[in-house]
């Protein structure tokens, strides 16, 4: 039994794996209740032990080269100390093997896919040194074909602009992506950003003018450029880079299958463009560093995992009272659901979700009364898989993990789940993915003729996703919303 660990980064996590079975996988934040917690905690280790006792640890990163890079970059603290942390949480007796950061990402993607061979693209802010890497994956394992190293990083470029726009770097990149639809994407601003930030901009190769690790607050924008315009142009540059790189991979490597991993693979707008290049695309639903807890183990075993879905965390062992939930929804109420195993990944996919009727002009306002989000941000729809194409121009056949956006065919009827550009981040639901959530949607469809529900994460503002039934009850008290 092997334990994969991601820690001392921006989203600590663990995964317990036996052979090809992922027994349990979870984020530290769900237990400590500290959003994006960087360290492991005893509570999660106690739960992990309910599933088995590991014999070895696979750590998602090489501490020595990472420490060297941090020292070189003048970052503090520069020394990475995995053993000290393992000692604190009572795991120091186990042997540890350290796995390369980008290799962990690539392995998390390839070995959870159904592909026997694949071309793998990894793009994030930075691992030890790598920022972009391209791999050829086959039964022989993962072969590194190309990589780019720090400080040249397309992920850091995007993160620097996240901070420039007053958002939290390494956390709120998705808000920058959402803002982009409200801005003007015009060539003079795109060219200025490229000129000011890149010495070379090709695909996959590029070179930055500056180390962007400390942001780019010094950048002077053109007077007429709004925050939204800057977001639109930064997003356009990211899309152009990823498109060119993926086209280069398609031309260069033989596989018809494509795997995309790393923090940049959370950009669902860009993902949808890449899905047009490769018919067979797989993005593991936790493509950032947290998912590398699984990847570190897979890179060690070099074997495919029996991927059954992302419901791998804390188990709330109770049946969902579907009829009561439906009655609440029919009364126009927002309803929380917390049952089964928690999602491993950033999205609530029906086991820790807040739901409401997506129809009508006030759906978003009803949800926003609880979520208090920026008004411009839409909520996502969860739709019965077989009706997804009736309502959305899907770039992929199925999207069970909300990783792609699709144009809504009838945005007037469903304004709450449509963004400014009429796109929606769709979750398709079938019985194999999540039988309880599927049943709920089926009953909703029988009663209303509407095959979808608005689905967002069940969390108190500023807190991680609800994890336990106790968290769910706390949510209920603080928000006045029933949770079933």
Q: Which span sits near Fe ion by CB under 5 A: 65-73, 116-124, 176-184, 426-434?
A: 116-124
Least gap, CB of 264 to Fe ion (angstroms):
9
Q: Out of 29, 37, 47, 124, point to the residue binding Fe ion (CB under 5 A).
A: 124
Least gap, CB of 259 to Fe ion (angstroms):
15
Least gap, CB of 284 to Fe ion (angstroms):
13
Least gap, CB of 453 to Fe ion (angstroms):
32
Closer residue to Fe ion (CB): 103 or 124 = 124
Length of the chain: 484
Residues 277 to 296 in contact with Fe ion, rule: CB under 5 A = 289
Q: Which span sits near Fe ion by CB under 5 A: 123-131, 189-197, 403-411, 436-444?
A: 123-131
Closer residue to Fe ion (CB): 129 or 475 = 129
**Pair of tokens at residue 320:** 């969902």
Closer residue to Fe ion (CB): 291 or 395 = 291
Residue with tokens 């739901």: 355
Closer residue to Fe ion (CB): 47 or 289 = 289
Closer residue to Fe ion (CB): 124 or 229 = 124
Least gap, CB of 408 to Fe ion (angstroms):
32
Closer residue to Fe ion (CB): 3 or 125 = 125
Least gap, CB of 130 to Fe ion (angstroms):
9
Least gap, CB of 156 to Fe ion (angstroms):
11
Distances (CA, A) of 91 to 46, 58, 83, 476: 11, 12, 9, 36
Size of the site for Fe ion (CB under 5 A): 2
For residue 482, give every residue at least 6 positions away whose Cβ sits within 8 Å of its Cβ, in sequence order, or none: 328, 333, 335, 336, 476
Integer Cα distance of 344 and 314 in angstroms: 10
Q: Inter-axis angle of helices 187-197 and 227-252, to 10 degrees?
A: 70
In the bound state, the residue with its beta carbon closest to Fe ion is 124
Closer residue to Fe ion (CB): 128 or 289 = 289
Least gap, CB of 109 to Fe ion (angstroms):
12
Integer Cα distance of 199 and 272 in angstroms: 28
Integer Cα distance of 381 and 204 in angstroms: 34
For residues 3 and 57, the answer to whether their CB atoms sit within 8 Å is: yes
Residues 286 to 345 in contact with Fe ion, rule: CB under 5 A = 289
Closer residue to Fe ion (CB): 131 or 467 = 131
239, containing H or E segment: helix 227-252
> DSSP letter string over 403-470?
--EEEES-TTT-GGG--TTSEEE-EEE-TTT-HHHHHHHHHHHHHHS--EEEEEE---TTSPPP-SHH
Closer residue to Fe ion (CB): 9 or 459 = 9
CB atoms inside a 10 Å sphere around CB 224: 9
Q: Does 229 bind Fe ion (CB under 5 A)?
A: no
Least gap, CB of 124 to Fe ion (angstroms):
4
Q: Which span sits near Fe ion by CB under 5 A: 22-30, 31-39, 117-125, 306-314?
A: 117-125
Distances (CA, A) of 280 to 94, 203, 247, 273, 289: 39, 21, 14, 13, 23
Q: What are phi and psi of 474, to 5 degrees?
A: -65, -40
Judged by the rule CB under 5 A, the positions of this chain that interact with Fe ion are 124, 289
């Amino acid at each position: 039994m092997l334990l994969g660990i991601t820690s001392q980064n921006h989203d600590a996590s663990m995964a317990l794996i036996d052979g090809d079975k992922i027994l349990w996988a979870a984020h530290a934040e769900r237990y400590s209740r500290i959003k994006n917690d960087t360290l492991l905690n005893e509570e999660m280790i106690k739960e992990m032990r309910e599933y088995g006792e590991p014999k070895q640890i696979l750590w998602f990163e090489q501490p020595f080269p990472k420490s060297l890079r941090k020292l070189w970059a003048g970052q503090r603290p520069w020394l990475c100390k995995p053993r000290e942390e393992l000692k604190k949480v009572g795991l120091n007796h186990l042997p540890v093997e350290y796995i390369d950061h980008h290799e962990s990402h690539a392995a998390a993607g390839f070995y959870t896919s159904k592909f026997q061979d694949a071309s793998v693209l990894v793009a994030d802010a930075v691992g030890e040194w790598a920022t972009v890497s391209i791999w050829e994956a086959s039964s022989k394992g993962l072969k590194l074909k190309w990589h780019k190293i720090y400080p040249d990083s397309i992920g850091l470029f995007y993160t620097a602009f996240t901070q420039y726009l007053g958002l939290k770097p390494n956390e709120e990149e998705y808000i920058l992506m959402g803002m982009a639809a409200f801005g003007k994407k015009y060539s003079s601003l795109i060219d200025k950003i490229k000129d000011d930030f890149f010495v070379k901009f090709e695909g996959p190769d590029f070179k930055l003018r500056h180390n962007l690790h400390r942001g780019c607050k010094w950048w002077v924008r053109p007077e007429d450029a709004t925050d939204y315009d800057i977001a639109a142009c930064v997003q356009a540059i990211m899309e152009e880079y990823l498109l060119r790189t993926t086209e280069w991979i398609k031309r260069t490597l033989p596989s018809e299958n494509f795997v995309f991993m790393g923090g940049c693979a959370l950009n669902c707008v860009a993902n949808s463009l890449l899905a047009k290049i490769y018919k067979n695309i797989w993005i593991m639903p936790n493509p950032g560093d947290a998912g590398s807890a699984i990847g570190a183990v897979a890179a060690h075993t070099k074997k495919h995992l029996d991927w059954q879905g992302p419901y791998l965390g804390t188990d709330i062992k109770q049946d969902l009272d579907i009829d009561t939930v439906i009655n609440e929804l029919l009364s126009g109420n927002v309803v929380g659901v917390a049952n089964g195993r928690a999602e491993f990944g950033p999205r609530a996919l029906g086991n820790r979700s807040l739901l409401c009727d997506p129809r009508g002009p006030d759906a978003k306002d009803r949800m926003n009364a609880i979520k208090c989000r920026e008004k411009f941000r839409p909520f996502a729809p969860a739709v019965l898989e077989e009706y997804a194409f009736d309502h959305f121009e899907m770039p992929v056949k199925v999207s069970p993990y909300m990783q792609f956006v699709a144009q809504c065919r009838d945005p007037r009827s469903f304004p709450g789940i449509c963004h400014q550009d009429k796109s929606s981040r769709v979750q398709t639901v079938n019985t194999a993915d999540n039988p309880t959530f599927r049943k709920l949607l089926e009953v909703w469809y029988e009663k209303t003729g509407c095959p979808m529900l608005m689905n967002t994460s069940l969390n108190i503002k500023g807190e991680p996703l609800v994890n336990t039934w106790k968290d769910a009850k706390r949510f209920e008290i603080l928000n006045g919303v029933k949770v079933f």
